[in-house]
Structure 1
Amino acid sequence: MSSQQETETYTLSMEREFDAPRELVFNAFMDPDQLAAWFGPEGVDTPRDRITVEPRVGGAWSLVMVYEDDGVHKESPINSIITQYEPPRLIEAAERESDESTAAGEVLRMRLEFEDIGGRTLLKLTQSGFTSQEWVDMTREGWDSSFTILDKELAATSDTAS
C-alpha cells in the first residue's frame, strides 16, 4: 500500500429558496430539457445534446458547459454518477474523474436536498473535495448565477401552469 499525503479539501455549502413547489425544483435538475435552459452561469451555454441524465442510483448525471474565454472556445464537462436518488427529496452524485479543482485522490461530491417550505422550496447544496477556497468561491458564484436563471425558468413554468 502506498502512503498518500493528506491534502486539505474545501467544501461549498449554500442554501437557496425558490418560489416553486419542490417537485418542480427537483425536476429542473433531472430533466435534460430544463437543465439546458438554466444550468451554467450567465454567458455559459449547456447544449441539450451534451446532457445525459439517468434518474437512478448508478445513473449518469453529465453535461458540458460551453463558453468563450478571450475569444477561445472552452468546455467544462461534469461527468457524475448518481449515488443517492430519493425524488423529490435528495440527489447525491460523485464525479467520475477529478480535474484541477479536485484534490489528488478525491472526487467532487454534490448533495442536493430539496425541502418543502409551504409550497416553496429550500434547496441545500453541498459540494466537497475542492482543492482551494478559490474554487469554492468560483463555484458559489456559478451556482448563484445559475439559480438566478432557474428562478426565471421556474416563474415562467408557474405562469404557464396557471
Structure 2
Amino acid sequence: MTDLVITRVFDAPRELVYRAFTDPDQIAAWFGPIGWSVPRDSIDIDARPGGKQAFTMVNDDDPSMSSPVNATFTEVIENELLVGEENVSHIPDFGADKMVMRIELFDEPPGRTRLVLTQSPFPEAMAGGAKEGWGSSFTKLDKILKA
C-alpha cells in the first residue's frame, strides 16, 4: 500500500476549483476519466464535516459498467480543504476497508491554484491507472475552468 499523491496547477482561482469539487452540476460536467461520465441525477453532495458525497461514474460505451462513490466528509474548509473517507471493502483486491481522500488548494500566482490530492492507503498495483484517470479527469476540468 502507498499514498497516491497528485499535484496539478489550474489556471483559475481557488474558489472556482473548490466549487468544481462541490457543485453537482460541475461534477457532472468533468468528473471521471475520458470515456466515463457522472450522471447529474446520481450526485448527492453536502460539503460539510459529516456530510455525504455520493455519485456514480458510468462507462460511456457500456453503461452496465459503473463505479459508485459513497464518501463522508471529515474536514471541510471552504476554498482550501476537502477530506473524505470512503468504505472500499467491496472493491476486490483493494487491500483496505477505508480510503481517505484529501484535496488541498493553494494560491499560485497569478490567480492560479495548486491542487494536491492524496488518496491513502492505495494499492500500488492500482496507482498507475488511478493517476492516469485523475489526469484525464483534470484535463476535462481544465476546459470547464476556462469556460
TM-score under structure 2 length normalisation: 0.93
Out of 103, 106, 111, the position equivalent to 2:102 is 111
Say whether 1:25 aligns with 2:17. yes
Q: 1:136 aligns with which of 127, 136, 140?
A: 127
C-alpha contact 1:90 1:111 (8 A) present in aligned 2: yes
TM-score by length of 1: 0.84
**What is the Cα deviation at residue 129 of structure 1?**
1.8
- After TM superposition, the structure 1 = structure 2 runs for residues 13-162 of structure 1, keeping only pairs within 5 Å, are 13-67=5-59, 71=62, 73-98=64-89, 99-100=91-92, 102-104=94-96, 106-118=97-109, 119-130=111-122, 132-156=123-147
Q: What is the distance in 2 between the residues matched to 1:10 and 1:101?
A: 14
* Aligned partner of residue 122 in structure 1, secondary structure: strand
SS in 2 for 1:115: strand
- Which consecutive aligned stretches of 4+ in structure 1 deviate over 2 angstroms post-superposition? none
Give the CA deviation at 1:68. Answer: 5.3
Matched-pair contact (CA < 8 Å) for 1:25–1:154? yes
Distance in 1 between residues matched to 2:93 and 2:98, nearest whole Å: 9
Identify the residue that residue 11 of structure 1 maps to in structure 2: 3
Identity %: 46
Q: After superposition, give the CA deviation of every residue in 1:28-62 in whole Å (9 maximum; x if it has no partner).
A: 00000000000000010100000110011000111
| Structure 2 residue aligned with 1:5 | none
Contact 1:102 1:129 in 2 (8 A): no
**CA distance 1:114–1:101, change in 2 (3 Å):** farther
Q: What letter matches 1:46 in structure 2?
A: V
Secondary structure of the corresponding residue to residue 88 of structure 1:
coil
Aligned Cα root-mean-square deviation (Å)? 1.5
Q: Distance in 1 between matches of 2:132 and 2:119?
A: 13
Q: Which structure's CA Rg is the greater one?
A: 1
What is the aligned length? 145
